[in-house]
Amino acid sequence: MFKLNLKIALRNLWKNKGYTLINIAGLSVGMASCILIFIFIRYQLSYDQHYAKRDRIYRVVSYWKYAAGEEFSKGVPMPLVPAMRNDFAMLDDVAALQRGGGVVKIKDQSGNVRLKTTETTYYVEPQFFKIFDYHWLQGDPQKDLLAPNSVALSEEMAVKFFGDWHKAVGQTFNYNNKTDLKVTAVFADVPENSSNPIKIAIAYSGYVNRNQKNWGSVTDNSECYILLKEGQNVADLEGPKAAFIKKYYVEPGTGKADHFFQPLADVHKDPHYGNFSRKTTAMKEIWGLAIIGIFLMLTACINFVNLATAQAVSRSKEVGVRKVMGSRRRELMLQFLTETITLTVLALLIACVITEATLPGLAGLFKEKLSFSLIQQPVILIFMICLVVFVGFLAGFYPAMVMSGLSPALAIKNKVNVGNTGGGALRKILVVVQFAITIILITGTLVVLKQMKFMREKPLGFNSSAIALPDMPGDSLSILKYDIVKTRILNIPGVLSASFCNSPPSSEDNTFTNFAYAGTKDADFQVNTKSADQDYFKTFGLQMIAGRALSKSDTIKEYVVNETLLKKLNIVHPQEAIGKMIRLGDHNTAPIVGVVRDFNNMTLRESISPILLFSRKSNSQTLAVKMDIRQIPEVMKNIEQIWNSYFPDNVYRSVFMDENINQYYESEQIMGTLFKVFASVIIFIAFIGLFGLISFVATQRTKEMAVRKVLGATTFELVKMLNTSFIMMVFIANLVAWPVAYIFISQWLSRYTYRIDLSIWPFVTAMLISMLVTLLTVSLRSYRAARTNPIDALKYE
């Protein structure tokens, strides 16, 4: 029976080639998008899931509540790790993980430097490897990673340094021009989908700051992981935690400090804290993608339902005959469902091809290593089977019910018309839903693109073009060379100005510190501190609105503040602040000499912080070089040459200011691209569906059109007649889509402190686009129908 059904199904699909093509095109594109989204989401959710004890692993993170806001850090104070080990009984293990980085030099047998490279390193306590089960190729971290200056390498690093990981153990290499580290163990590479991409694990006992006792100082580079005892609940840690905080946070700070235990599964998904891999995908984004995927599938299914119920008329005779022959309704439904599933499977095969072809694009967009391998990831196969069954039933069940329910008497006499197959109203509703989804996506795309353009073009309050930012080595010997390096670089033709600073005006790397203004009491908010020399203002084109810029000094001698700081202190006239004393941190008291006009110091998502600028040579390890835009390539070459001649033991690294800023908005760019792609896909699906439907309607109304033509209607009038109902539906779809789109969009825009005003234009444009394409699609097909000779239609009644 099934074989027969399948044969008939294939025959029917072949007979109605046009509809089959439309259905397969829509379904396969929709399915391919779904599979891509599934692969991506699965990959995102697979982060850090390859550890045996993953359900018991938590990261300790820090949180501060201030009078004027809050702050998050993935780091913990240095003394927290031993304290927790001591105070919490329900933990199996506590481990510190400290990120660092520096120059690695490998010498060959004759003592010459064979390889010089900058690498990110981690100081790791051996307990870390009890929590995370790494696969060890050689050595045992519990024994071999205890002594200071011992180091474990990943297979990749071992090969990079020594050619073959088998030869690595026992070798040494020089780190940061200071210590010689001895390789004692080698572990298998950490998978890409890992939040801790450790490649060089140095024994924590060699970390210089490990015994620091300050609970008030936290950097993002000091993480702490804990392993809960089996059978324990993380909620039970709350009690001991309260006591713990009370016990250790005795000094009154500006904010109220707290710690949270973040499940390992959230490390990749919580953008508040981030992680060492610098890759986070918020759960919100994952949901957003999933919803888009469901939308896409839904529009493709709607096409199917619409075309199938519309086709029911032409299948009515078959149904009648079958019923007269004694087929039961169930068997008929089974036959129609077989057809749907066959079609869906065909679409799936094409979807696989599309997926395979577009996956590299997606992987490139997200900079992730995604793969589409059914053998390695059987879950994808399961997903696809579910997709086929789901789509087959969602799309096939209703049409099957309608068609199998036709009355045989009417069906045989060919008295079935569009009216009594039902579905007319349903079809209209489905078309409206489909278009509403399309319009929401079009509107969203327009707004995302507009916001991106806005962010690209918004003046930041400083000049960021043609500025290179080479890093300077921070050791005391190198600092002595700073002045001469700057003089040499300024002498390069094409260099307009240069300034030593700790960070450019806008940066993702910000330090916040307590301060006191004109008194002894700390203000109830912190300031963003930037150390910069006297040329900073000229290099970045910052404008003073009162007083003067910083003068030359190697240590803190005076301060420049920004407008926001004055506003927060309720100082109306900038002049008032000049000459007032500021104490930064515990000491460093100096007068304010100038007020700088506000500039954006972070991404445009955040508002401008209160900023304090001062000179401190030892802090200023970045050189900002403003160049003549026409001579950038030569100047860059010269800078590198000079740099290398002064710092031969280090590795030159430089970025452009503009690129830095563009990187802030990487996620927006990805989002923009995704929106563009998916909006096009959905427009494609919706409109081929529309084309199918109008083809059908045109066929159905051939007789009516012929009669009208005989009565004197022109082709134009007939095209207009067919268009009206569709345009009406699309218009209603617009009305449905607008409020929904408005809610989504305004929610998305609210993430940005600096954002476009939501005008009516994206909505109007989306309406025009949808109407225009509808008009085009319908006219294209109905023109052909209206042009046919009425005689052909009326001859054989």
Partner 1 sequence: MIKLQNIEKYYAAKGLKSYILRHVSTTINQGEFVSIMGPSGAGKSTLLNILGMLEEPTYGTYEFMGEDVTSLNERKRIELYRNHIGFVFQAYHLIDEMTVAENIEAPLLYKKIGSAERRSRVADMLDRFNIVGKKDLFPNQLSGGQQQLVGIARALAAQPSIILADEPTGNLQSAQALQIMDLFKKLNEEENITVIQVTHSEVNAGYGSRILHLLDGVIKEDVNLSESLKP
The answer to whether residue 717 forms part of the interface with partner 1 (CB under 8 A) is yes
Shortest Cβ 714–partner 1 spacing (Å)? 6
Cβ neighbours around 93 below 10 Å, total: 20
The answer to whether residue 713 forms part of the interface with partner 1 (CB under 8 A) is yes
The answer to whether residue 788 forms part of the interface with partner 1 (CB under 8 A) is no
The answer to whether residue 238 forms part of the interface with partner 1 (CB under 8 A) is no
Q: Is the CB of 252 or the CB of 712 nearer to partner 1?
A: 712
The answer to whether residue 712 forms part of the interface with partner 1 (CB under 8 A) is yes
Site string for partner 1, 51-70 (x = CB under 8 A): --------------------
The CA distances from residue 770 to 327, 414, 431, 765, in Å, are 44, 37, 12, 8
Shortest Cβ 349–partner 1 spacing (Å)? 40
Cβ pair 479, 619 in contact under 8 A = no
Cβ pair 131, 57 in contact under 8 A = yes
In 3D space, the residue among 556, 476, 499, 565 whose CA is nearest the CA of residue 526 turns out to be: 565
Task: Return the residue of 409, 710, 768, 776 that touches partner 1, per CB under 8 A.
Answer: 710
The answer to whether residue 794 forms part of the interface with partner 1 (CB under 8 A) is yes
- The residues, ordered by sequence, that sit 6+ positions from 170 with a Cβ below 8 Å of its Cβ are 182, 183
- Which secondary structure element, helix H or strand E, spans residue 293, and what is its range? helix 283-324
Cβ pair 280, 268 in contact under 8 A = yes
Task: Return the residue of 143, 703, 751, 784 that touches partner 1, per CB under 8 A.
Answer: 703
The answer to whether residue 140 forms part of the interface with partner 1 (CB under 8 A) is no
In 3D space, the residue among 288, 287, 284, 267 whose CA is nearest the CA of residue 193 turns out to be: 267
Cβ pair 594, 549 in contact under 8 A = yes
User: Rg for the chain (alpha carbons), in Å?
Assistant: 34
The answer to whether residue 784 forms part of the interface with partner 1 (CB under 8 A) is no
Q: Is the CB of 167 or the CB of 708 nearer to partner 1?
A: 708
Task: Return the residue of 238, 483, 658, 704 that touches partner 1, per CB under 8 A.
Answer: 704
Task: Return the residue of 711, 750, 757, 760 that touches partner 1, per CB under 8 A.
Answer: 711
Stretch that binds partner 1, among 293-301, 507-515, 531-539, 701-709 (CB under 8 A): 701-709
Q: Is the CB of 662 or the CB of 699 nearer to partner 1?
A: 699
Q: Which two tokens stand for residue 79?
A: 């003394």
DSSP state, residue 471: B
Q: Is the CB of 236 or the CB of 792 nearer to partner 1?
A: 792
CA atoms within 13 A on the CB side of 670: 16
In 3D space, the residue among 753, 726, 735, 484 whose CA is nearest the CA of residue 607 turns out to be: 753
- The residues, ordered by sequence, that sit 6+ positions from 346 with a Cβ below 8 Å of its Cβ are 13, 24
Q: Which two tokens stand for residue 132?
A: 């995370």
The answer to whether residue 743 forms part of the interface with partner 1 (CB under 8 A) is no
Distance CA 153, CA 364 (A): 28
Stretch that binds partner 1, among 194-202, 258-266, 354-362, 698-706 (CB under 8 A): 698-706
Task: Return the residue of 465, 714, 724, 746 that touches partner 1, per CB under 8 A.
Answer: 714
Task: Return the residue of 230, 251, 586, 797 that touches partner 1, per CB under 8 A.
Answer: 797
Three-state secondary structure readout of 82-94: HHHHHHCCCEEEE
The answer to whether residue 114 forms part of the interface with partner 1 (CB under 8 A) is no
Task: Return the residue of 707, 736, 740, 764 that touches partner 1, per CB under 8 A.
Answer: 707
Instruction: Return phi, psi of residue 695, to 5°.
Output: -60, -45
Shortest Cβ 413–partner 1 spacing (Å)? 13
Site string for partner 1, 403-442 (x = CB under 8 A): --------------x-------------------------
In 3D space, the residue among 274, 361, 442 whose CA is nearest the CA of residue 40 turns out to be: 361
The answer to whether residue 706 forms part of the interface with partner 1 (CB under 8 A) is yes
Q: Is the CB of 7 or the CB of 415 nearer to partner 1?
A: 415
Instruction: Compute how many residues bind partner 1; rule: CB under 8 A.
Output: 19
Distance CA 60, CA 262 (A): 6
* Binding residues for partner 1 (CB under 8 A): 417, 703-704, 706-708, 710-715, 717, 789-791, 794-795, 797
